[in-house]
Structure 1
Amino acid sequence: MLLSPTETDAAPTQHVPQRPERCVIVVDEALSPGKASNAAAVIAFTLGQRHSRLVGSPLHERDGTVHPGLIPIGIPVLKATALQLGELREKSLAHCDVVDFPVQGQATTDYQAFLDAVRDHSGEPLRYLAVGLVGSRNKIGKLVGGFSLFA
């Protein structure tokens, strides 16, 4: 789920371990490379906001140049079918923090229109372009063990 500017300081509502050991993003395998990259970036940005401890120490060059810290545990980007993404999201909610990106997110560049589209969606389950998971290595591994890298 994308957070609005007023929700950015809210704590995650799902179970989140004190020290996440694994961070994974699973993207719809049917997306074009550009749309898949966008979906993964949206998920990664929100995961970074929700889990600031995932950002490592700044990188220091010998000449004193400093670069922002990066995630030290890596983020595999995996692929799944649209059906598998919905199932993965549902199964994951009880085991880790989940950030999802509904298909309505790539239908507009207007965030309010995106919010309205999700709110006004019919009673059927949302479809997802990507799902990000943060949690323990074992639980995340069991949840995504059958997925391949997005290539």
Structure 2
Amino acid sequence: MLLPLDTQSSSDTDAPRKPERCVIVVDEALSPGKASNAAAVVAFTLGQRHSHLVGAPLREQGGTTHPGLIPIGIPVLKATADQLSELRQKSLAHCDVVDFPAQGQATTDYDAFLSAVNALSGDSLQYLAVGLVGPRNRIGKLVSGLALFA
């Protein structure tokens, strides 16, 4: 689910940006493959929504360039399913949230995924991962106490 985005566009270079933090929190019960998939899905959408977080292209000595990467890093943390739902709810008023409902790993058909989510009320959704982007201090408070996914 994508929520309204209140960040500046990547073409706005006149206004200084506040320090931002980007973090992904994954359900600790997921297998490594499913956790990696959930984090990748969320990261892809976060990158699209916050293209200003992508750094300058990397250049080798010989001139070959590589796409820019995020210079602020993206910690991947773990939480229980209940903590993920609570974190998502608490975060909505403080930062941009990209969430990945459990129905996303129940099918490879995006239309079926859309239908499955559409058939449920918001409070009954379970989440496999939640990505947050926002002010460093707010994000820090929201995820304090969560450990790295290992």
Give the TM-score normalised by the residue count of structure 1.
0.89
Q: Secondary structure of 2:124's match?
A: coil
Instruction: Classify 1:123/1:132 alpha carbon distance in 2 versus 1 (closer, same or farther; 3 Å).
Output: closer
User: Does 1:129 pair with 2:120?
Assistant: no
Distance 2:81 2:38 in 1: 13
Shift of 1:21: 1.1
User: Does 1:63 pair with 2:62?
Assistant: yes
| Contact 1:15-1:95 at 8 Å conserved across structures | no
Instruction: Classify 1:123/1:54 alpha carbon distance in 2 versus 1 (closer, same or farther; 3 Å).
Output: closer
Q: Secondary structure of 1:129's match?
A: strand
Shift of 1:61: 0.3
Structure 2 unmatched runs, 5+:
9-16
Instruction: Classify 1:123/1:44 alpha carbon distance in 2 versus 1 (closer, same or farther; 3 Å).
Output: closer
Distance 1:104 1:85 in 2: 15
Distance 1:100 1:123 in 2: 12
Instruction: Classify 1:64/1:123 alpha carbon distance in 2 versus 1 (closer, same or farther; 3 Å).
Output: closer
| Contact 1:24-1:77 at 8 Å conserved across structures | yes
Instruction: Classify 1:129/1:61 alpha carbon distance in 2 versus 1 (closer, same or farther; 3 Å).
Output: same
| Contact 1:14-1:94 at 8 Å conserved across structures | no
Distance 1:134 1:41 in 2: 15
Distance 1:142 1:16 in 2: 19
Shift of 1:121: 1.9
Equivalent residue letter for 1:144: V
Runs of 4 or more above 4 Å deviation: 17-20
Distance 1:123 1:64 in 2: 50
Equivalent residue letter for 1:13: P
What is aligned with 1:73?
A: 72
Distance 1:20 1:39 in 2: 26
What is aligned with 1:54?
A: 53
What is aligned with 1:82?
A: 81
1:2-151 mapped onto 2 (5 Å cutoff): 13-16=4-7, 19=18, 21-121=20-120, 124-151=123-150
Distance 2:122 2:87 in 1: 20
Structure 1 unmatched runs, 5+:
3-11
Distance 1:134 1:20 in 2: 10
Q: Secondary structure of 1:71's match?
A: coil
Give the TM-score normalised by the residue count of structure 2.
0.90
